[in-house]
Amino acid sequence: MNSLLEAFWYILPAYFANASPVVLGGGRPMDGGRTWRDGHRLFGDGKTWRGFLGGLSVGTIVGALQYLLTPAYYGGLKTAIVLAFMLSFGALLGDLTGSFIKRRANLPRGYPAVGLDQLGFLIAALALGYPIKTLTSGQIIFLLLVSPLIHWGANYIAYRLGWKSVPW
């Protein structure tokens, strides 16, 4: 498999996990309405348990489907599922961390934070996936360069479809 294609294939569960809460989310906020010592919400209404668990499920399912298509890439179903779970969990944890930081900076829900929004989920996903299966430094650099473009494009499409109220 081409090295850049392999990097994209590797990170797909994280991309799907990060994007799916837009469609699957809603319901009870993860922070339960609680505030931090600065008086601002921990994460805000945009981070819900349904979105988090839905994203985790979708990302893990994507990894299982990838295994069915390319079993030799993973070496085993257990590795594929654990990797997909960790990439998905990392993406959602990175996004949650970004929301926490944005609330500390007093940025409103949906307000763009260039860099944090596009790379926070990716960096956390790569960190959690690293112990299971690694990428080369070139592949990581490729993902750091291409992910913001994919993120912006996916958000714009979600906005045009009416799934998001803002195009970022």
163 pLDDT tier (thresholds 50, 70, 90) = confident
As a whole number, the mean pLDDT across the chain is 94
Residue 89 CB-density burial (10 A; 0-12 exposed, 13-18 middle, 19+ buried): buried
C-alpha to C-alpha distance for 47 and 28, rounded to whole angstroms: 8
pLDDT in tens, 17-37: 999 999 999 999 999 999 999
Q: Over 90: is that where the pLDDT of 129 sits?
A: yes
What single DSSP character describes residue 78?
Answer: H
pTM of the entire predicted model: 0.92
Cβ distance 14 to 121 under 8 Å? yes
